[in-house]
Amino acid sequence: MRRPVPRPTALAGAGLAVAVAGCLYAAAGAASDGDGGGGRGAPPGPASAAVRAGSAAVVVDSGARSAAPALAGADLDGKPVSLAEFRGQVVVLNVWGSWCGPCRAEADDLERLSGQTRAQGVRFLGINTRDRDRAAARSFVRAHGVGFPSLHDPTGELLLRFPPALLNPQTIPSTLVIDRHGRIAVSIGGAVTDEELRPLLARVAEETS
C-alpha cells in the first residue's frame, strides 16, 4: 500500500515565497571551492557541484505533515545531541557543509535569526554533512560565530531518513522547519536569508494545532 504524499501549498501573500540559490551536491563527491582547504572534509570522487537558482519554500498543510525522523548522534565536539530534545518547540533544521559556498553565505543570517527568535520558542539545529573531519566543521562554526549545535553526519546517513520530496540529500544547504508536534512544516532547498525565513517561522510558531 502506497503511503500518501504530503500536500505542499504555496505560502499566501506576495513576498513570502522564498527564492533561494542552492549548491547541488552530487553523491559522488563535492568540489573544493579553493578557499583555505574548505573542501578537505569532502569525500573523494568526481566533482559535480552546480548552482541551482529559483527554488522556493514548500509549506505543508498542517493536516498533511509527516513526522520528522528520529535524529540523534554526536555534535561537532563529540557531545550527544538529538532532535527529540527540542520537542514542543519550533525547530529550524539546517543542513550544511564547510566546503559549501552558499552555506557560508547564509550562516551569519541563521545565527542572527537564532538569537532573535528564541523568545518565540524557536530553536536551531544543524546537520553537518560530507565533512569527514570535524576540525573543518568546527573552523566553519568559529568563523561565523554559530552558537547552535550541529549533528555530525559525514556520510549523509541522517539525510536519507527524510522524505526525498522534502529533503533532497544532494541539495546543500537545505533547511527544514519542524513544528511543535515534531512534523515537517516547511522545506527549503538552497541558501536562505533571515528576511526570507522569518515570516515562515512566525507562521509555524503561531500555530495552535
Relative to beta strand 90-96, strand 174-178 is antiparallel
Average pLDDT, stretch 95-114?
97
Burial (CB < 10 A; 0-12, 13-18, 19+), residue 97, is buried
Q: How confident is the model at residue 18 (pLDDT cuts 50, 70, 90)?
A: very low
pLDDT at 76 over 90: yes
Position 44 scores a pLDDT of: 33
Please report which confidence band the pLDDT of residue 58 belongs to, taking 50, 70 and 90 as the band edges.
very high
Task: Check whether 31 has a pLDDT greater than 90.
Answer: no
Domain range 8-205, CATH class: alpha beta
- The per-residue pLDDT of the chain, averaged, comes to 81
The stretch 47-75 carries a mean pLDDT of 75
pLDDT above 80 for 189? yes
- Quick one: pLDDT band at residue 24, thresholds 50, 70, 90? very low
pLDDT given for residue 29 in this prediction: 37
Q: How confident is the model at residue 209 (pLDDT cuts 50, 70, 90)?
A: confident
pTM above 0.75, yes or no: yes
- R_g (Cα) of the chain, nearest Å: 16
Write down the domain spans for the chain. Answer: 8-205
Q: 68 versus 22: which is more confidently predicted?
A: 68
Give tens-digit pLDDT for 130-181. 999 999 999 999 999 999 999 999 999 999 999 999 999 999 999 999 999 9
Distance CA 121, CA 26 (A): 35
Q: Residue 25: phi, psi to the nearest 5?
A: -105, 120
